[in-house]
Amino acid sequence: MDHIHILKRSWHNVTRYKALWIFGILLALTTFSGETFLLFGDSDSAQEPVFQYQLSERDREWLRDTFDLEFSESFTLSGGEAAEFFQNTVAQTVLAIVILVIFVIFILILLSLLVRYLSETAVIKMVNDYEKTGTKYGIRQGLRMAWSRSAWRLFLIDLTVRLPAVLLLLVLIVMVVAPIFAFASTGTVAGIAGAVATGGLFLLLLALAIVAGIVLGVLARVARQACVVDNLGVLESIRRGYEIVRYNLKDVGIMWLVMLGINLTWPLLMIPVVIVLVGIGVIVAGVVVGLIGGLTALATAGTAAWVAAGVVGVILFLLMLVAPLALLTGMRVIFESSAWTLTYRDLRSMGQLKVQEAPKPAAV
């Protein structure tokens, strides 16, 4: 297999097939994930605390004029009253907000998965048809091609290949880590030696898990290309991907190493780009904030004008930073997907060619 030709064709698809960019951007945006951390605190006291606050005349006047609320000059709040207030009011409000946030995150995850697999389906189909017929499709046609059973099958392929491996890894980690604490808790020399030996076993298990993750990742990648290119089912796609990887281990390995090198080099290449974008964004956003804030302040007194201008400046800065990075990352994703699609096409055609060239048995 000519890997250089595949890389050139993939770069050609990136630079000459502009309709792929929108799907590459969507893929780039939906492959990021985040985590939310909640911090909790607790404190005890032997004596019930009493909170006391005294309002000045100016404070009471401001509350009365602003919120139409009347407060006495001073008030006290015992710890029991504060606890009851937090349990009955604040706790319920926080719980409702947490439930709402979890629900919104869940919906966003579902939408992200939907957009990701639809976009990946569109990119694979558009590249495959372009290589097969030389036809370039527009964004609207790409959306029609994306909305198919193949997108759902891509999700099921990833789930089928990765989920059992993740569950097995978790079980093995628990089986290895638990004895470490058991041995170490004894405090004896034999217990410490057993903990060290089990720790070595854990490192070995971790290395094997990394290797298995790489193999399964390549298998899932090739299976996804097989699913979309040949319109195969989930299990049949996995079987085809396994056959391609097994009988073309060298060619698939070389392509994986090339993609690994690109993925490792990419963050380094993005560092100067991010620095330039941040500089330009700060300058442009600063100028816009100055203009909007200054002009608005002439008509509206107070800090509200500058606050509004600051919000506009932050939004503009984020757009100037995220939009170019999403485009560049999307182009990288298109290049990688195109390379694997062309790799699958070449390896499949080589296999078919061998079958066709196999000598037929002589007639008896």
Other C-beta atoms within 10 Å of 226: how many?
24
* Distance from the Cα of residue 114 to its chain's centroid: 13
CA 164 to chain centre: 21
Which residue, 24, 12, 32, is CA-closest to 123?
A: 24
Q: Which residues contact 329 (CB under 8 A, 6 or more apart)?
A: 24, 25, 28
Residue 347 scores a pLDDT above 60: yes
Structure tokens that stand for 82 in this block: 């504060």
Distance CA 175, CA 141 (A): 51
Residue 276: the pLDDT is: 92
Cα 98 to Cα 33, 92, 131, distances in angstroms: 19, 10, 49
Angle between helices 3-16 and 304-357 (to 10 degrees): 140
**Residue 295: pLDDT over 60:** yes
* Lowest mean per-residue pLDDT among 8-12, 72-76, 331-335: 72-76
pLDDT of the residue at 28? 83
End-to-end CA, the chain: 37
Task: Return the number of other C-beta atoms located less than 10 Å from residue 143's C-beta.
Answer: 15
Model pTM score? 0.68
Burial of 141 (0-12, 13-18, 19+ CB in 10 A): middle
Q: Are 337 and 263 in contact (CB under 8 A)?
A: no
**Can you list the alpha helix ranges (DSSP code H) found in the chain?**
3-16, 20-30, 57-67, 79-85, 91-133, 139-146, 149-186, 189-230, 234-247, 249-299, 304-357
C-alpha to C-alpha distance for 26 and 20, rounded to whole angstroms: 10
pLDDT in tens, 90-107: 566 767 788 888 888 889
Residues of the chain above pLDDT 70, percent: 70
Burial class (CB in 10 A: 0-12, 13-18, 19+), 128: buried
What is the average pLDDT score of the chain? 77
| Lowest mean per-residue pLDDT among 108-112, 116-120, 242-246, 288-292 | 288-292
- pLDDT at residue 162 in the model: 81
Residue 64 token pair? 């009365």
Asked if residue 1 lies in contact with residue 346, where contact means CB atoms within 8 angstroms, the answer is: yes
